[in-house]
Structure 1
Amino acid sequence: MGRILQSGVRLRPIDLARRHGLSTQAVRNYEEAGILPPAGRTPTGYRTYTSLHAGALRAFLALVPGHGHQMATSIMRAVNKGAVDEAFRLIDESHVQLLDDRRTLQTVESALRGLRPITASGPGTASGTGTASGHPAASGPGATFIGPLAERLGIRPATLRKWERTGLLRPRRDPLTGYRVYDEADVRDARLAHQLRRGGYPLEQIAALISQMRAAGGLEPLESALRDWHGRLSVRGRAMLTGAAELEAYLRECG
């Protein structure tokens, strides 16, 4: 909408703000943050903007949906400082993150294909025989303690304890030591929770999904969440294309 501006046309902050549904304070904040190039000044000290500033604002607002506010800000700062290669590197980082998120989603889907419906199990016990470290070994196929499970997932034991408090996990306690024992179902739930957290899902939503899966004995709630995840990644990918087009237009205007 601002593309019809001629390069010599001077804009007041209110003119630039109205074109994008912003406040004049937001425009000033964007300038101070380096998202917009420095404004010109009238003899009386008032800010004036041009089509170049309008292009910068269009580029920034188009970058935000695909890259996020912080990354879009860093990209525009780099461009406005003349560090275009740095801006391209930041854009590459966002694309790498998007690719990593897609791979994470594929990993979750692969894990789901191997899941069995959760069934009730007996309390079980931990073996009283010692391991090489002197700790008792968890009994049952796939059973493990909090330290090895946290290490396997690349997270802290405190994270697993937090997930337990929110209902994501329900480990039993070894009757001899009081240690948490995670059986196969717990390990599976921890893996899924870890992957969904990487996908941006809040703990409360993940807990509800796993609870529904346990109650229903099926994966439909989780499969619905993954379809939504697919959709959000697609929207983000298209937003990156839109942002790239606006940034390219701005770079051409910058010369």
Structure 2
Amino acid sequence: MTVDRPVRIAVQIQPQHATYETIRAAAATLEGMGVDVLFNWDHFFPLRGERDGLHFESWTMLAALAEQTSRVEIGALVNCNSYRNADLQADMARTIDHISAKGGTGRFIFGTGSGWFERDYDEYGYDFGTVGGRLDALADALPRIEARWERLNPAPTRKIPVLIGGGGEKKTLRIVARHADIWHSFSDAATLERKLGILAEHGRAVGRDVSEIEISTEVSRMTEAQAGELHALGATLFTIGLSGPDYDVSRVEPWLAWRDRLNGS
């Protein structure tokens, strides 16, 4: 099966080094500019710059963005599976789905991954464990999340899209093949081409047509030509990361124009 998807532009509003008022204003501006998706990230401390700089929590912010916005899809790029019970994650996602719906269909994307930032774990009292152990925990959590969505009352307003981030070829891509609606990675064209082949192998192993999975990638440091190579391989969701203290939304404008050219609009 071949799926024809439009190109979409996402912006990750990195919740670091900025006041919440600045984050709120950036979200409003970006939605008004025509961005398709707004992401944040699920960490407790900045990833760059002053290590103890301003920082805000992901899920409470997503609920606020769900209420603030009316058109864009929203989610974390990505939620850390380790920080919350799987069934609780499902319930939180369903609740934000309804907050974002406003009488229609929800706009929440459940972006998730196995976790990697050790400081978060150490300072908040989570067991960091091993890469393999965290991936196994993610593989165990996703069926619980999906099952909980089927039992919640009220149910989600739609099948909540699952975005899985990461490029590990043995475990992560197998989880992607089984559960993801969207796969996000940081890849150049050669890497993406190789990993798509491996993803297809995992899809055959689990009985999934992986063309159903939307391909997402980060383009903050890419040229349009490099992004075009990724698009030629099937990528359609392209994310630009913006950090505080000031979110330079002017960086997004050329990508929106690029999107519109590719979509013929």
TM-score category of the 2 structures, normalised to the smaller one: under 0.3
Q: TM-score scaled by structure 2? A: 0.22
Q: Which TM-score applies when normalising by structure 1?
A: 0.23
Q: Give the structure with the larger helix fraction.
A: 1
Q: Which of the pair is proportionally richer in strand? A: 2
